[in-house]
Chains A and B, each alone.
Chain A
């Protein structure tokens, strides 16, 4: 009957996102009068698994097997579905990130369980089970009723505060019985970013738009990001022009992010751009056009030329750190 939460194994560790998920699951379990079980796939140390207990998981299941070394959507979805059935879980929670989006729909079909994707708060109602869901790329929200007996929720990143609980967790190790023939993904190469803040994980993001005028003007923006421990991002025209790599493109068709602070430099704030950043807790806009729509989304604004404002901002952050 427990709430099942998929805590993704990231090279044997968890990201903060997993603790957000467990905290959310724990709050939901309280509403439902039940407990939280986590499932992690792939080798994970006991000490790492026990960390989940600090956020309210009462059981951490670790499934391992030779055929589960890399993400295969079909095999992973079967593992999670089987555990949900064994645990009698009525709610399954995943992150609304790449792997959560890959697995949730497959689990949905296996268990005939409706999905509420990209939820940002606890259910509005338990009967009927109603969630608050982002739609129209952030221009509207829906109260979505999930009619099935089992429900799947994918939680938007950085939308739920981690909350510590008294620790009381048991670990369960499971050797997967997944047949290798179910695994069809053949990974030939893996590249991981190193030494820089990953955009989708970042709590602060500094982003540049066409108002930056040319790719040579990026150093002060990158310096500001470095000083703030922030990731760098950009608007679509900037990535289309090849000024910055397309991984940095935030917006409707690029990455959708929800940092605590989003600093938009020389970005006018087209609807499509705002669709990717409107869930940020705070938006700061720096733009030379005082009528730019970005100022309608921002809490703090500076009207001015990015090239003149950025160096002063860098100085101000350096002074703050002294």
Chain B
């Protein structure tokens, strides 16, 4: 079986977001780009599965839609341990556009398990994985917090609101992955970084696709009122405020 892990590159999660171009885009000056945290966990789990020969995973490929600027993020995924990579040479205009590009990569190269993070930490859309599956007419399981291989079939834990289920699905399928899938992201070792330099990144040109959405403008969240401090010896005052001022208890 072959696994594809779709990766997005996002500003490091501690970045203070500033805007540019009349608030139509973010200011990328000084931003440290990283693999989207859920994609990084997906990749880690994919590599764990590959590294146990009993699972019969032949290879783990990463795919990314982005310009040449994003190659360092792809190299990082290769350094962590992915076997090879695909980059679709286009800016990521919206989830629909990105999903159609990735679906085309999957049609060309054929994968059995396609893993996507449940959202990206920049756009928070939670859309690409499901869109890929529907474009290909294959099954998808969302909110996956555990993935293993049993009798050549992916078996997953999926989170439901207030519980969880164990779910099996015949490949090819898309697993949309959340926290819990791997304990901690795998870190690139020096040997991996050296090897990544010679690993292949196949570059495809995008297929025509019309984005369905467009950001008109960004804005900062409304500032919150200053915190009102209550003496530690007087929690009754806090309870009173919550009851009579905020009216939340």
Among B19, B129, B239, which residue has the most Cβ atoms of chain A within 10 A?
B239
- Indicate with 1 or 0, residue by residue over B107-145, a CB within 8 angstroms of chain A CB atoms: 000000000001101111111111101110111111101
Q: A106-B130, A296-B227, A301-B227 are in contact. Are A261 and B217 (CB under 8 A)?
A: no
B232, A308: Cβ atoms closer than 8 Å: yes
Q: A261-B248, A297-B224 are in contact. Are A143 and B161 (CB under 8 A)?
A: no
- Indicate with 1 or 0, residue by residue over A146-183, a CB within 8 angstroms of chain B CB atoms: 11100000100000000000000000000000000000
Residue of A nearest to B159 (CB): A98
Residue of A nearest to B211 (CB): A147
Chain B nearest CB: distance from A175 CB in Å? 23
Residue of B nearest to A130 (CB): B216
- Indicate with 1 or 0, residue by residue over A290-322, a CB within 8 angstroms of chain B CB atoms: 000001111111111100110011011101100
B227, A143: Cβ atoms closer than 8 Å: no
For the A-B complex, the count of residue pairs with Cβ-Cβ distances under 8 Å equals: 284
Chain A nearest CB: distance from B247 CB in Å? 9
| B37 contacts chain A at the CB level, 8 A cutoff | yes
Q: How far is the CA of A103 from the CA of B133 in the complex (A)?
A: 11
B52-60, B166-174, B195-203: which lies at the interface: B166-174
A254, B131: Cβ atoms closer than 8 Å: no
| A285 contacts chain B at the CB level, 8 A cutoff | yes
B167: chain A residues at CB < 8 Å are 185-188
A141: chain B residues at CB < 8 Å are 218-221
| A252 contacts chain B at the CB level, 8 A cutoff | yes
Q: Quick one: which of B123, B133, B213, B224 contacts A296, CB cutoff 8 A? A: B224
A145, B165: Cβ atoms closer than 8 Å: no
Q: A117-B126, A246-B180 are in contact. Are A108 and B96 (CB under 8 A)?
A: yes
**Which parts of A247-266 form the interface with B (CB within 8 Å)?**
247, 249, 252-254, 260-261
A185: chain B residues at CB < 8 Å are 139, 141, 167, 169
Q: A147-B212, A190-B165 are in contact. Are A98 and B160 (CB under 8 A)?
A: yes
| Chain B count of residues within 8 A CB distance of the other chain | 86
| A47 contacts chain B at the CB level, 8 A cutoff | no
| B214 contacts chain A at the CB level, 8 A cutoff | yes
- Indicate with 1 or 0, residue by residue over A232-248, a CB within 8 angstroms of chain B CB atoms: 00000000100000110
| A77 contacts chain B at the CB level, 8 A cutoff | yes
| B228 contacts chain A at the CB level, 8 A cutoff | yes
Q: Quick one: which of A192, A295, A303 contacts B232, CB cutoff 8 A? A: A303
Q: Quick one: which of A105, A272, A313, A319 contacts B14, CB cutoff 8 A? A: A272
Q: How far is the CA of A282 from the CA of B225 in the complex (A)?
A: 11
| B215 contacts chain A at the CB level, 8 A cutoff | yes
Binding site for B on A (CB under 8 A): 10, 15, 70-74, 77, 96-99, 101-106, 108-110, 112-118, 130, 133-148, 154, 184-193, 198, 200-201, 203-204, 228, 240, 246-247, 249, 252-254, 260-261, 270-272, 275, 278, 281-282, 284-285, 295-305, 308-309, 312-313, 315-317, 319-320
Binding site for A on B (CB under 8 A): 11, 13-14, 16-17, 19, 26, 37-38, 41, 94-96, 99, 118-119, 121-131, 133-135, 137-143, 145, 158-170, 173, 176, 179-180, 184, 211-221, 224-225, 227-233, 235-236, 238-239, 241-243, 246, 248-249
Other than the given A136-B11, A253-B41, 8 more pairs (CB < 8 A) read A73-B130, A108-B134, A139-B16, A143-B218, A192-B163, A297-B224, A300-B230, A303-B229
